[in-house]
Amino acid sequence: MNFQMKTWEDYQDAYQKSIEDPENFWAEIAQEFKWIKPWKKLLEWDFNDLQVSWFKGGKLNITENCLDRHVEHKPEQPAIIWEPNDPNEDVQVLTYKVLHDRVCRFANVLKMNGVEKGDRVCIYMPMIPELAIAVLACARIGAIHSVVFGGFSAQSISDRINDSACKVVITTDGAHRGAKLIPMKDTVDDALMNCPSVKKVIVSTRTRTPISMIKGRDVWWEEEIKKVTNECPPEVMDAEDPLFILYTSGSTGKPKGVVHTIGGYMVYTAYTFLNVFQYHPGDIYFCTADIGWITGHSYIIYGPLACGATTMMFEGIPTYPDAGRFWDIIEKHRVNTFYTAPTAIRSLMGFGDEYYKDKDLSSLRILGSVGEPINEEAWHWYHQEIGKGNCPITDTWWQTETGGIMIAPLPNITKTKPSFATLPLPGIQPILVDDQGNEIDGNGVNGNLCIKFPWPGMIRTTWGDHERCKKTYFSAYKGLYFTGDGCQRDEDGFYRITGRVDDVINVSGHRIGTAEVENAINMHTGVVESAVVGYPHDIKGQGIYAYVILEKSDHDAELTKRDILMTVSRIIGPIAKPDEIQFVSGLPKTRSGKIMRRILRKVACNELDTLGDTSTLLNPEIVDELIAGKK
């Protein structure tokens, strides 16, 4: 690939060109890929009426770019190295040739089970090679994948399946997660009680736990692949055909299905992967994310494979068998680039140096961070203790909606600064605005982070509801994409993301909408009303704080709390369980009946000095009760 920046001058030139002549800038990059038919119009866009298209008229298949292209000249190079949950189990190495064969074979299985171009396929699997194969097999035949993170509940799965009317579900019997066995198929069975669109379930074997297999609906992966060949020509796709749907939480309502399209997403994830990780042929790259989130889609599967890289997949968790597991993996596989989340860093930092001091981490060259703000202490520990002071940290800011990394330092090129994502990548035009939408010029300022010009990897729509996409992202500030994040631009023009300014909480790098958690809590019998806010949490970044009004006051508080937690687990999943629940007799409301979240946040965060004026509330007396009842 001919688009790697190598020096500060390269970056400045690329950035300049991307602003002055975006069409030619992206055309030159896109030409590096294999197109079945060239595009007719590089870019058309309108942020007011939300229409964005890149590479219009171009025909391609992303798997031809991620697989066939590399099989031609390096069939034996590892594409995926898979590290199992149990370190004593065998590692699997899938070369480009092997991965290509397995993807084609499984693509034929999908076809045999009735999946056609444009159909939606739900994938609910642990981090095993079959997950990557399933994703790529969908792309091979032009089916739209909707991966649901393995930690979500049956209810969440069925909501997602129904929203996009998935025809097929791909899952496993069970999953290994540390010492635990997770019953994946059972959860899928529960989800499917209420999913009329699903005709087939394809089950891969991982744990050999007993499961139910329903005649006519459920089939085994291992048996199906014996019935087909490994010949599967790539489906000819339009650049703007959807590649996948990925559900993500916002301020209001149920999670939205963010839609990414093939051409732009491919070009953008490959461009950003090659540059942000300064990938060189032969490097071993390890991203610890789960493929159930956008980071796994873009930077375990598509970006690395589009660049012909070697990407690792890890099935387990950082603390199994002990808190040295990541460092063991780095030593064992001689990992060069390591990309993880601040939550993992903070948690591993807390276990002390006995887990890494005797490990050989000398293969590391570049460290990455993603998903939430990284605090300075964690940044320095990562830099000194893991990188031994020699590895630049690339703090990458981006979102499910942006498809790929937007603001990040280029290792060994851009100066780094702890807790700063630093500078926008070429093609990205960030601006800060005040609450009225006026642009905030100059440096040394704070504001709401927006993007004013399209980039190839951006969201195109939300599945089944284009208006919602327009309203959520393009109507807060006219003509701008609004990120939902607050941001500082310092004296040097460097960007530092300060966190969400909307009703989204970032818990361990997972996005959770406060409204979603409130709805789940309100499902519990006996709950009258609830309000959920985020508060600072040492490890998770943010914790979930719930204020709950119960119908009766003579309850067993501990038991009721546990029941509420169980309810939230059932409705959303364990990741959305509140860390604190406070029972209250009322919530602070304005005279028009709106909950004053600002006050709830201040109390949860212990910022009592800056509570502000509470006298205009409908029920000012409630504030003292909130403060008194807080732990």
CA torsion, ordered 315, 319, 320, 326, to nearest 10 deg: 60
Peptide bond into 321 cis (omega under 30): yes
**Could you say whether residue 511 binds ligand WTA (CB under 6 A)?**
yes
Closest-approach residue to ligand WTA (CB): 400
Rule CB under 6 A: is residue 370 a binding residue for ligand WTA?
yes
- Any idea what the Cα angle at residue 84 is, between residues 80 and 90, rounded to 5°? 85
Contact 121, 146 (CB under 8 A): yes
Distance CA 537, CA 73 (A): 49
CA atoms lying within 13 Å on the CB side of residue 238: 11
Between CA 333 and CA 310 the distance in angstroms is 11
**CA 224/CA 219 separation, integer angstroms:** 7
At 143, give phi and psi (nearest 5°).
-85, 155
Rank residues 335 and 370 by Cβ distance to ligand WTA and give the closer one.
Answer: 370
Q: What is the DSSP code string of 217-270?
A: TEEEHHHHGGGS-S--PPPPEETTSEEEEEEE--SSSSPEEEEEEHHHHHHHHH
Which listed range, 181-189, 310-318, 329-337, 392-400, lies at the site for ligand WTA (CB under 6 A)? 392-400
Degrees to nearest 5, angle at CA 313 with 312 and 318: 105
Q: What is the DSSP string of 381-423?
A: HIIIIITTT-S-EEEEB--GGG-S--B-PPTTTSPP-TT--BS
Question: Residue 500 interacts with ligand WTA (CB under 6 A)?
Answer: yes
Q: Which is nearer to ligand WTA, 267 or 449 (CB)?
A: 449
Closest to ligand WTA by CB, 365 vs 500, is: 500
Task: Report the residue number, 63 or 269, with the smaller CB distance to ligand WTA.
Answer: 269
Q: Are strands 51-56 and 481-489 parallel, antiparallel or unpaired?
A: unpaired
The answer to whether the beta carbons of residues 532 and 581 sit under 8 Å apart is no
Using CB under 6 A as the binding rule, whether residue 302 contacts ligand WTA is answered as no
Residue by residue, DSSP assigns 158-200 as HHHHHHTT-SEEEEES-EEETTEEE-HHHHHHHHGGG-TT--E
Choose between 480 and 587: whose C-beta lies nearer to ligand WTA: 480
Q: Which is nearer to ligand WTA, 386 or 622 (CB)?
A: 386
CB atoms within 10 A of CB 89: 11
Contact between 561 and ligand WTA per CB under 6 A: no
**Options 331-339, 344-352, 364-372, 519-527: segment touching ligand WTA (CB under 6 A):** 364-372
Q: Are 154 and 239 in contact (CB under 8 A)?
A: no
Q: Which of 95, 93, 202 is nearest to 145 (CA)?
A: 202
SS3 216: coil
CB of 260 to ligand WTA, least distance (A): 12
542 binds ligand WTA (CB under 6 A): no
The two structure tokens encoding residue 272 = 């950003």
Establish if 447 lies at the interface with ligand WTA (CB under 6 A): no
Cβ of residue 497: shortest distance to ligand WTA, in angstroms? 4
For ligand WTA, the binding residue among 373, 387, 411, 430 (CB under 6 A) is 373
Residue 61 binds ligand WTA (CB under 6 A): no
Backbone angles phi, psi at 225, to 5 degrees: -70, -15
User: 347 or 567, CB closer to ligand WTA?
Assistant: 347
Q: How far is the CB of 451 from ligand WTA (least distance, A)?
A: 12
Size of the site for ligand WTA (CB under 6 A): 23
The single residue among 11, 221, 338, 397 that binds ligand WTA, judged by CB under 6 A, is 397
**Stretch 207-236 residues interacting with ligand WTA (CB under 6 A):** none
The pattern of x and - marking residues 398 through 437 that bind ligand WTA according to CB under 6 A reads xxx--------------------x----------------
- Establish how many alpha carbons lie within 13 A of residue 294's alpha carbon, considering only the half-sphere containing its beta carbon: 28
**Nearest approach, Cβ of residue 368 and ligand WTA (Å):** 9
Of the candidates 85, 146, 158, 506, which one interacts with ligand WTA according to CB under 6 A? Answer: 506
For ligand WTA, which stretch binds (CB under 6 A), given 25-33, 199-207, 479-487, 570-578? Answer: 479-487
Nearer residue to ligand WTA within complex by CB, 103 or 270: 270
Applying CB under 6 A, does 456 fall inside the site for ligand WTA?
no
Q: CA 505, CA 485: separation in Å to the nearest integer? A: 11
**Minimum distance of ligand WTA from residue 550's CB (angstroms):** 32
Render the burial of 465-482: b for 16+ CB within 10 Å, e for the rest.
Answer: eeebbbebbbebbeebbb
Interface region with ligand WTA, contact rule CB under 6 A, candidates 36-44, 189-197, 480-488, 602-610: 480-488
337 contacts ligand WTA (rule: CB under 6 A): no
284-287 and 256-261 as β-strands: parallel, antiparallel, unpaired?
unpaired
Which CB atom, from 202 or from 348, has the smaller least distance to ligand WTA?
A: 348
Report in angstroms how near the CB of residue 284 gets to ligand WTA at its nearest. 22
- Positions in 247-276 near ligand WTA (CB under 6 A): 248
**Is residue 497 part of the contact set for ligand WTA (CB under 6 A)?**
yes
Determine, following the binding rule CB under 6 A, whether residue 349 of this chain makes contact with ligand WTA.
Answer: no
Q: Report in angstroms how near the CB of residue 397 gets to ligand WTA at its nearest.
A: 4
Describe the strand order of the beta sheet including 310-314 as a list of residue ranges.
Answer: 92-95, 78-83, 310-314, 284-287, 337-340, 366-370, 393-396
By CB under 6 A, residue 371 contacts ligand WTA: yes
- From 599, 311, 246, 284, select the one nearest 457 (Cα to Cα): 246
Q: How far is the CB of 254 from ligand WTA (least distance, A)?
A: 16
- Closer to ligand WTA by CB, 403 or 426: give it: 403
* Location of structure tokens 């590096």: 32
The stretch among 128-136, 435-443, 471-479, 493-501 that binds ligand WTA (CB under 6 A) is 493-501
* Site for ligand WTA contains 295 (CB under 6 A): yes
Q: Which stretch binds ligand WTA (CB under 6 A): 179-187, 293-301, 433-441, 526-534?
A: 293-301
Residue ranges in contact with ligand WTA by CB under 6 A: 248, 293-295, 370-373, 395-400, 421, 483-485, 497, 499-500, 506, 511
